[in-house]
Amino acid sequence: LGQRLELQAHVSWPGTLWWEDAGQDFEAQFASLTARGYGARRLDHDEIAALEPNLRACPAHALFTPMEGAAQAQSVAQSLLAHVARRGGQLCPEREVTAVRSSPGAGHIVQTNAGDLPCDFVILATGAAACRGLAGVEWALPMANKRGMILQTRPVQTRIHHILMTPDVHFRQNPDGSLVAGEIFSGDLDPSEDASALADTVIARICQKLRGQPDVQLAEVKLGERPVPLDGLPVVGAVPGAPGVFLAVMHSGVTLGPLIGQLLAQEILQGSPSPLLSSFRASRFAQA
């Protein structure tokens, strides 16, 4: 997708070094990846140091997954929307969707605060808001959303060459030298926690891991809700009891978005359900 839509400026493929867990959990992760045929290699301290010479204290071992990459989500999304517009798609960024109703002829009418939009199909990719449902669609997705934080720093000279997934912080470096970081994947922020203090803590964790005491300055903090369906797995496909209405809700949407978009488009346009999505249907949740 990146090559076809010329997203090279927004997507990189440096590979990941992972040592988030230790002991039996580390071994279980390695065994799980290799059992699935995933390209993971176990590296020792010296091999890690050769790949990341600016790490102050390398772990005894880490998993290296060289095929993995990172996308700058905001600029990727903007590029995708621009591509849609160039291909004749109509973007309505200022319209609030209030309801969906079936059209007397065929298809649906999407009601917005600026008028109605006729359409053949409706795809609800509403993320964390999926738990609130939508008027006209008698379905609300049970969610277990988690609060999360992503921060970006000003550019620093110290270079890291891979995505680093450590026990207390995940971070990577953009081509301009800025660092992007977040808490560990499974984290869930306490609503009472001070965001500014937490951001300072994350910055301190990064500085502790890098040689030369780099001057890492915070540039931006983003707080939000991770969209997590109740059982933690993606929900993709037709909404039960609502012909022509589909769902695509998951964490992580950045990672899974290209594949999910392709599979769901094929299902909608060709009418042939994908076996890859059979375990991820909305129908697995019984509605009260």
Tens place of pLDDT per residue across the chain (288 aa): 888 888 988 999 999 999 999 999 999 999 999 999 999 999 999 999 999 999 999 999 999 999 999 999 899 999 999 999 999 998 988 889 999 998 877 789 999 999 999 999 999 999 999 998 888 888 889 999 998 889 999 999 989 999 999 999 999 999 889 999 987 555 566 667 788 888 999 999 999 999 987 889 999 999 888 999 999 999 999 998 888 999 999 998 899 999 999 999 999 999 989 999 999 999 998 754
Question: What's the pLDDT at 16?
Answer: 98
* φ, ψ (nearest 5 deg) of residue 39: -75, 75
**Residue 143 confidence (pLDDT):** 94
- What pLDDT score was predicted for residue 189? 65
What pLDDT score was predicted for residue 288?
Answer: 43
Contact 221, 211 (CB under 8 A): no
CA pair distance 177, 163, nearest whole angstrom: 13
Q: Per CATH, which fold does 11-72+146-226 belong to?
A: D-Amino Acid Oxidase; Chain A, domain 2 (3.30.9)
How far is the C-alpha of 17 from the C-alpha of 136, rounded, in Å? 46
Q: What is the pLDDT of residue 265?
A: 96
Q: What is the pLDDT of residue 186?
A: 54
Q: List the CATH code of the domain at 92-144+231-270.
A: 3.50.50.60
Domains of the chain, by residue range, sit at 11-72+146-226, 92-144+231-270
3-state SS of the chain is CCCCCCCCCCEECCCEEECCCCHHHHHHHHHHHHHCCCCCEEEEHHHHHHHCCCECCCCCEEEEECCCCEECHHHHHHHHHHHHHHCCCCCCCCCCEEEEEECCCCCEEEEEECEEEEECCEEECCHHHHHHCEECECCCCCECCEEEEEEEECCCCCCCCCEEECCCCEEEECCCCCEEEECCCCCCCCCCCCHHHHHHHHHHHHHHHECCCCCCCEEEEEEEEECCECCCCCEEEECCCCCCEEEEECCCHHHHHHHHHHHHHHHHHHCCCCHHHHHHCHHHCCCC
pLDDT at residue 97 in the model: 92
Nearest to 210 by CA among 164, 244, 154, 176: 164
Rounded to whole angstroms, the Cα distance separating 161 from 166 reads 15
